[in-house]
Every structure is written in structure tokens, then in C-alpha cells.
């Protein structure tokens, strides 16, 4: 086995959901061992029909994970932002009486 990288072309989905998605053909270079593991995964799993589908699915999942990490980091920063914390505490205090009335029900005369 050589240490050369395997080249594989696949199409990446783009475009709207109304029409057939536009596709772009690219070349993907990866270590031969990674390619072999991916090919074996295609044999082992049944919900992916081709190497192309597997690669697109993997890229989509990684992009989703990166976006989730970015959002989590932004929320983490909110917990350290003094102005944000003061504002949310003020809003919570403003709604305490309203919440109490809602939970207790209407007052009788």
C-alpha cells in the first residue's frame, strides 16, 4: 500500500428546497487509510447509498456541530456579561407579581 492520498470526486448540495439543489463537483483528497475506513463504513451501514452521500452527510454533520459549538460559546459569554445579567434580573423582578397573580388565579371581590 502506498502513502499517496486517494482522490475522490463528489457533489456538494447547494441551493433552495423548491427546485433540485444545485451541485458542485469537487475533488477530495484524503489519506488512503481514511478512505478505506469510509468505504468499510458504507458496507457496514445501510442508510447511505454511496461514498458521495456518506461524504456529504459527514460534512453536513460537522457543519451542524461547529454551528452548535459557536452558539454554545455565545451563550456561555452571555453568562459572564454583567450588563446582560443585570437586565435579565430586572426583567425577572418585573414579572414576579404577574407570575404570582397567574399562579394564584383571579382575586375575588
**Domain-wise residue ranges, the chain:** 6-104
Start-end of H helices in 1-109: 32-44, 51-78, 82-104
Predicted local distance difference test score (pLDDT) of residue 10? 35
Q: Which of 5-9, 17-21, 64-68 has the highest mean pLDDT?
A: 64-68
Is the separation of the CB atoms in 21 and 14 below 8 Å? yes
Average pLDDT, the chain: 80
42 class by beta-carbon count within 10 Å (0-12 exposed, 13-18 middle, 19+ buried): middle
3-state SS class at 6: strand
Predicted local distance difference test score (pLDDT) of residue 25? 92
3-state SS class at 79: coil
As a whole number, mean pLDDT of residues 24-49 equals: 89
Q: How many CA atoms lie within 13 A of 66 on its CB side?
A: 6
Amino acid at each position: 500500500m502506498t502513502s499517496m492520498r486517494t482522490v475522490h470526486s463528489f457533489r456538494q448540495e447547494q441551493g433552495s428546497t423548491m427546485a433540485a439543489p444545485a451541485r458542485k463537483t469537487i475533488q477530495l483528497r484524503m489519506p488512503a487509510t481514511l478512505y478505506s475506513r469510509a468505504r468499510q463504513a458504507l458496507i457496514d451501514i445501510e442508510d447511505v447509498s454511496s461514498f458521495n452521500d456518506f461524504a456529504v452527510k459527514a460534512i453536513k454533520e460537522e457543519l451542524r456541530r461547529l454551528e452548535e459549538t459557536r452558539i454554545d460559546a455565545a451563550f456561555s459569554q452571555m453568562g459572564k456579561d454583567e450588563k446582560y445579567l443585570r437586565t435579565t434580573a430586572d426583567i425577572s423582578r418585573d414579572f414576579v407579581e404577574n407570575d404570582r397573580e397567574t399562579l394564584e388565579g383571579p382575586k375575588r371581590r
